[in-house]
Amino acid sequence: WQVEEACREVGPLLREASAAPPSSGVLRMMQTPERLVADYAGSGLTVGPHPMAFHRERLRRMRVKTAEELRESRNGSFVRAAGCVIARQRPGTAMGFVFLSMEDETGIANVIVHPDLYERERVAVTRGRFLLVEGKLQNEDNVVHVKADSLEIFEMGGVEVRSHDFH
Helix (H) or strand (E) holding 131: strand 130-140
Q: What pLDDT is attached to residue 72?
A: 95
Share of the chain above pLDDT 70, in %: 81
Three-class HEC string of 14-31: CHHHHCCCCCCCCCCCCC
Q: What pLDDT is attached to residue 164?
A: 38
Q: What pLDDT is attached to residue 165?
A: 38
Taking the chain (167 residues) in runs of 10, the rounded mean pLDDT of each run is: 68 66 68 76 76 90 96 96 95 95 95 97 94 96 94 73 39
Q: What pLDDT is attached to residue 85?
A: 94
For 14-49, write each residue's pLDDT tens digit. Answer: 666 656 555 556 778 888 777 777 777 777 777 778
Query: Would you say 157 and 55 are in contact if contact means Cβ atoms under 8 Å apart?
Result: yes
90: burial class by Cβ within 10 Å (0-12, 13-18, 19+)? middle
For 60-70, write each residue's pLDDT tens digit. Answer: 999 999 999 99
Alpha-carbon torsion 148, 152, 158, 162, what sign?
positive
Identity of the residue numbered 106:
T
DSSP-derived letter for residue 62 is T
Q: What pLDDT is attached to residue 155?
A: 84
CA distance 37 to 54: 13
CA-CA-CA-CA dihedral for 81, 42, 24, 18, to nearest 10:
-160
Q: What pLDDT is attached to residue 159?
A: 41
